[in-house]
Amino acid sequence: MQSLRPSQTPSNLKLTVSCLAVLATLIPPGILFLRRIITSFWQLLWWKEVNEDSQETRTEKSLMHPKKSFNSSTIFLSFRHNDLPLKLRWFYKNQLSKIDLRTLSTTSTNIEKLQAGHVGAQFWSVYVLCSAQKKDVVRLTLEQIDVVKRMCKSYDELELVTSSEGIASTDSKKIACLIGIEGGHSIDSSLATLRMFYELGVRYMTEGLFLWDLQTLLTTLQCIYSCTEKINEVVKEMNRLGMLIDLSHTSDATAAAALSVSRAPVIFSHSSAFSICNNPRNVPDHILHLLKANNGIVMVTFFAEILGCDNNAVDISTVANHFDHIRTTIGSEYIGIGGDYDGVNKYPEGLEDVSKYPALIEELLRRGWSEEELEGVLRQNFLRVFREVEKVRVKEFLSLSSWLSCLKRLLFNAAWFLTIETSYLFI
């Protein structure tokens, strides 16, 4: 892994800031405000690079030395799409005081089951019905984010994290918890809302379920262009923020468009192989190849309805068939596990709840998957994607255009401040 060091700063940026640093020494002492701005600008640049280097180094060391040794019944840190927060809203009105998440029996997920399944990290899905768009979708999304945060604070077994470093450093006795939004309609057509969700800890959002202008989409072709443009804006902003782009629930055209625009790897958080089951929720081979070029991952869902299209009994072997196909098509390093527990009504036989994950691992081992491949599926593949998304955020932050834009604003504010100060001399 190559770390970003001061010596590797882009030459044009380094030259520009170096010249400014020299000019700062020539500014008359009476204009200390401007001198301080330029000096602080230079120091911030170098501090950011050195800090990023140390963070990536720590993350790399953590990943090189996993907390647990691999065998058929022990799972590394693993990442799943889980809709438990939706069940908490529907059945308990988000009143955590009325339930015990350690032993809750009305859902496929509780803390004891997560521990039995050796789950070390969990993406909690924040989902609000599409019908709430242009009504109270933002408020409802905030309430779901709130219940996830309260859940993580209420139980010592859970720990809320927001970065790959946080995942790697989580105590082995705890489950690292991350927040993801299922459905772009939750931002209600507002990039400002997207940014606020990021500040609240959201680290992925599903691009599907966008309802920018449903009536236009149903009656004309006008929205095909406008919707694509708006989704592209969201993709670019998510790249800048360092937020994972989730393409589950999207059409092939939307997925291809997002993959062509995104500068960071993307995920399909709960999808499977279209060639095994031709359900539109699944990913066709040509999109899988685009995903490989993007360096992203597809996380296989356990939703029985889209795993077995022949209406026969769906079991662990059916799920393993999807893994095998994706592995044959693009390689095991582009696969993860999606789960989708508490978000669907039917699971494969033998995978009825989150405690059953080891059974799938045993099946894949039986089929000849290597321990190295399974380490990737269970942990490393997702962490690789997350780290690369974070790197794109850093590159955006350190880009010349971003810094020059920042400097322009600083100089404008400095000029305004000096104008005000000078005007007082003539009063």
Of residues 224, 215, 226, 191, the one with CA closest to residue 205: 191
pLDDT (tens digit, 9 = 90+) per residue, 217-246? 443 334 444 456 777 899 999 999 999 999
Question: Looking at residues 366-380, what average pLDDT do you find?
Answer: 96
pLDDT at residue 10 tops 60? no
Does residue 89 or residue 216 have the better pLDDT? 89
pLDDT at residue 347 tops 90? yes
pLDDT at residue 269 tops 50? yes
Question: Looking at residues 101-108, what average pLDDT do you find?
Answer: 97
- pLDDT for 416 equals 66
Q: What is the mean pLDDT of the chain?
A: 81
Question: Looking at residues 83-93, what average pLDDT do you find?
Answer: 96
% of the chain surpassing 70 pLDDT: 71
- pLDDT for 301 equals 96
Q: Taking a C-beta distance cutoff of 8 angstroms, is the pair 296, 261 a contact? A: no
Stated as kind and residue range, the H or E segment containing 182 is: strand 175-182
Residue type, 245: I
Domains of the chain: 76-396 (3.20.20.140)
- pLDDT for 411 equals 79
pLDDT at residue 358 tops 70? yes
What three-state secondary structure class fits 406? helix
Stated as kind and residue range, the H or E segment containing 156 is: none
Predicted confidence band of residue 9 (pLDDT cuts 50, 70, 90): very low
Q: Taking a C-beta distance cutoff of 8 angstroms, is the pair 146, 204 a contact? A: no
